[in-house]
Structure 1
Amino acid sequence: MLASLASVFSLMVSTLLMMVGFGLQSYVIPVRSVAENWSTLTVSVIATGYTVGFTLSCVVTPKFVLRVGHVRVFTALITLLSIAILLCGLIVDWRAWIVFRAIAGFAISGSYLVIESWLNERVTNENRGLLFSLYLITTMVGTIGGQYMVPLGDPTNTSLFMLCSVLFSLALLPTALSSSPMPAPPAQAKFDIPALFRRSPVAVVGGFLAGALSGAWLNLGGVFTQKIGLSTAEGATLLASLLTGSALSQIPIGRLSDKIDRRIVMVGCGIVGVISCLVMSASIGSQPAVLYIIAAFVGSVLFPIYALNVAHANDLAKPNEYVETSSGLMITYGLGTISGPLMVGPVMDRFGPAALFLVLAVYFALYGGYAAWRILRREQHKGLVVKTDFQATSVMPTPGPDVTSPAAQQAAQEPLIDDDTVPAWENPRP
């Protein structure tokens, strides 16, 4: 086990530094935007640039990795991250920031791919749980740590932007200088969203709504904290509280969904999300400690729900469809992250910061409501459900499936199993 940890030590250090930079930039960007008196709609448009770049990278980055390899691509992407955040500090114009944030979104998404590809090369069935738990803890600690760096500087000048660039550059060193073997080239992952929808509409619709929820919060949560009068330290604590709630709830939610119909768990998450968001909206002006507790409840369902959709879709997929399923869901999620800020921004401009959680409550209601509707429409049970294991996700879901592991590549090449020999699925059209 110690040998396994040693083999990914440099990778974890790179991940930690990158996520510290990610947490810092994800908070300093909205804080600086508010300081520039840009409207929430303008901030939403800037955020859309980020999500468009993030989604585009899901498709494009694997092609670059095939051509030049993981390390060279990772080096280029981290360089782009450093350049993008420096340009945000040098050219403070919202139109330019759309482009800079698109570059950052493209780079961070591709960096996730490289890091997780490398990690998947090092794991085995015996240490997978430990190493991925360590990875999730690393991403969480790094993100929260980066958010708490904002109060240490002044977002109205270039100091925090420069610090963020330094962190990204430092993240390159451990991986670039590592002597560990390079990951195998990824398999080409295709996606067919219409076919995925026919197989599992609740996974596709839920994945889109999960993207809208996380996209709205990740890009406008910092604006919310500033608009309601929290200090940067208090705002960082509120953001950290939401992430902490997510970290604590992912495994219990996943284990529950492994035992019962995942769609029932989706309905429950939707109900918790609606109630907690409505309470948060009504609690603006309360003591910060009250807001932190409510934010933890919001976070307990905001990020884990995407993993529910992935697990449910894989339950209904054959082994040779896992890569295609995960790719299609990631694109669906990306489209949701694009729409989320664009929908929420104008509403916040019109009705104030409390409207953020009112819109999130609507998204949660749609999420849970659609899952409930699909439960009512399911066909009679024809046998036992064959479930895949639930796997928790990091702060931002990864830009693609594990397409680099030998198992994934073999599954992608396996012929379809004869329909007469496959187990009867619980819900042929859930």
Structure 2
Amino acid sequence: MLANFASVFSLMLSTFLMMVAFGLQSYVIPVRSVAESWSTLTISIFATGYTLGFTLSCIVTPKFVLRVGHVRVFTALITLLSIAILMCGLVVDWRAWIGFRAISGFAIAGSYLVIESWLNERVTNENRGLLFSLYLITTMVGTIGGQYLVPLGDPSNTSLFILCGVLFSLALLPTALSSSPMPAPPARADFDIPALYRRSPVAVVGGFLAGALSGAWLNLGGVFTQKIGLSTGEGATLLASLLAGSAISQVPIGRASDRMDRRIVMVACGIAGVVSCLAMSVMIDSSPPVLYALAACIGTVLFPIYALNVAHANDLARPDEYVEISSGLMITYGLGTISGPLMVGPVMDRFGPVALFVALAVYFALYSGYAAWRILRREQHDGLVSKTDFQATTVMPTPGPDVTGPVSQQDAGDLIEDDTVPAWEEGAR
């Protein structure tokens, strides 16, 4: 076991440094935007550039990896991350930031792909859960730590932007200098979203709504903290509280969904999200500790719901289709992240910061309502569905080909040899 940890140490260190820079970047950008007196709609527009780049990277980065390998692609992507954030500090114009944020989104998604592909090469069925838990903890701690760097500097000048660029560059060193064997290039995976929808409507629609929820929060949550008058330290704590709530709830939600119809858990999570968001909107003038607690409650369902959709789609698939399903759902999720800030930003401009949580409550209601409707339309085929294990995801679901629904080789063999007609052939749920 110690040898397994040693083989991924440099990878984890690169991940940690990258996520510290990512956490710093994700908070300093909205803080600087508010300081520039840009409207929430304007912030939403260049936030959409980020999500467009992220979604595009899910499609094209594997092609680059196939051509030149993981390390060269990772080196190029980290360089792009450094360039993008440094240019944001150098050219403070929202029109230019659309392009810079698109570059950043493209590079961070590709970096996830390289790291997770490499990590999957190093794990076995026996230690996969443990090592990926370590990976999730590393990303969480790094992101939160980066957000707490903002109060140490002044977002109105270039110091924090330069620090972020330095941290991204440092993240390159451990992986570039690692002596671990390079991972094999990932297999190409096509995706067919209409076919995926016919197979599992609730997974596709739920994935889109999960993307809209996370896209709205990740791009406008920092704006919310500034609009209601929180200090940068208090704002960092609120953002960290939501992430902490997400980390705590992933396993309980996953275990519950493994024991019952996953759509029932989707309904419950949606209802919990509606209640938590409405509570936040009503108590927006409360003391910071109350807001932290409410943010943690929202976090318990905001990020984990995407993993429910992935697991549900994989329940209805053959083992050789997992990568294709993962790719299709990532594109659907990416489209949702594009729509989220574009839809919610103008509403915040019109009705104030409280509108963020009212809009999130609406998205949660749609998520829960659609899952409930699908339950009424199609009962679960308990005797036909062979469930995959639920697997927690990182804060921002990523395009790694093996992390969204791996099964053991024995499980895969059992599924292949099973003569039972797959549930998806009996009808979409």
Q: 1:406 to 1:34 in 2, by over 3 A?
A: closer
The residue aligned with 2:328 is 328
Does the 8 Å CA contact 2:310/2:405 hold for their aligned counterparts?
Answer: no
Counterpart check, 1:69 vs 2:69: yes
Partner SS state of residue 284, structure 2: coil
Unaligned runs of 5+ in 1: none
The residue aligned with 1:36 is 36
- Counterpart CA distance in 2 for 1:408 and 1:50 is 35
TM-score, length-normalised on structure 2?
0.96
- Counterpart CA distance in 1 for 2:330 and 2:146 is 25
Deviations 1:301-321 (Å, cap 9, x if unpaired)?
000000000000000011121
The residue aligned with 2:423 is 425
Instruction: Select between 375-384 and 19-28 the one with higher mean Cα deviation.
Output: 375-384
The residue aligned with 1:175 is 175
Identity of paired residues, percent?
A: 84
Question: Cα distance, 1:348 vs. partner?
Answer: 0.1
Q: CA RMSD in A?
A: 2.1
Partner SS state of residue 126, structure 1: coil
Q: 1:400 to 1:326 in 2, by over 3 A?
A: same
Partner SS state of residue 163, structure 2: helix
Question: Cα distance, 1:428 vs. partner?
Answer: 3.2
Does the 8 Å CA contact 2:316/2:422 hold for their aligned counterparts?
Answer: no
1:156-305 paired onto structure 2 within 5 Å:
156-305=156-305
Does the 8 Å CA contact 1:55/1:399 hold for their aligned counterparts?
Answer: no
Does the 8 Å CA contact 1:215/1:337 hold for their aligned counterparts?
Answer: yes
User: What letter is aligned with 1:296?
Assistant: A
- Counterpart CA distance in 1 for 2:100 and 2:90 is 11
- Counterpart CA distance in 2 for 1:407 and 1:424 is 17
TM-score, length-normalised on structure 1?
0.96
Aligned length: 426
Partner SS state of residue 383, structure 2: coil
Does the 8 Å CA contact 1:245/1:297 hold for their aligned counterparts?
Answer: yes
User: What letter is aligned with 1:268?
Assistant: A
User: What letter is aligned with 1:312?
Assistant: H
Deviations 1:166-220 (Å, cap 9, x if unpaired)?
0000000000000000000110011000000000000000000000000000000
Does the 8 Å CA contact 1:120/1:405 hold for their aligned counterparts?
Answer: no
Question: Cα distance, 1:385 vs. partner?
Answer: 2.5
Does the 8 Å CA contact 1:316/1:428 hold for their aligned counterparts?
Answer: no
Partner SS state of residue 187, structure 1: coil
Question: Cα distance, 1:425 vs. partner?
Answer: 2.8
- Counterpart CA distance in 2 for 1:36 and 1:131 is 42
Q: 1:90 to 1:238 in 2, by over 3 A?
A: same
Q: 1:365 to 1:173 in 2, by over 3 A?
A: same
Partner SS state of residue 38, structure 1: coil
Question: Cα distance, 1:381 vs. partner?
Answer: 3.8
Does the 8 Å CA contact 2:267/2:371 hold for their aligned counterparts?
Answer: yes
- Counterpart CA distance in 1 for 2:102 and 2:379 is 43
Q: 1:297 to 1:164 in 2, by over 3 A?
A: same
Q: 1:272 to 1:115 in 2, by over 3 A?
A: same
- Counterpart CA distance in 1 for 2:113 and 2:407 is 17
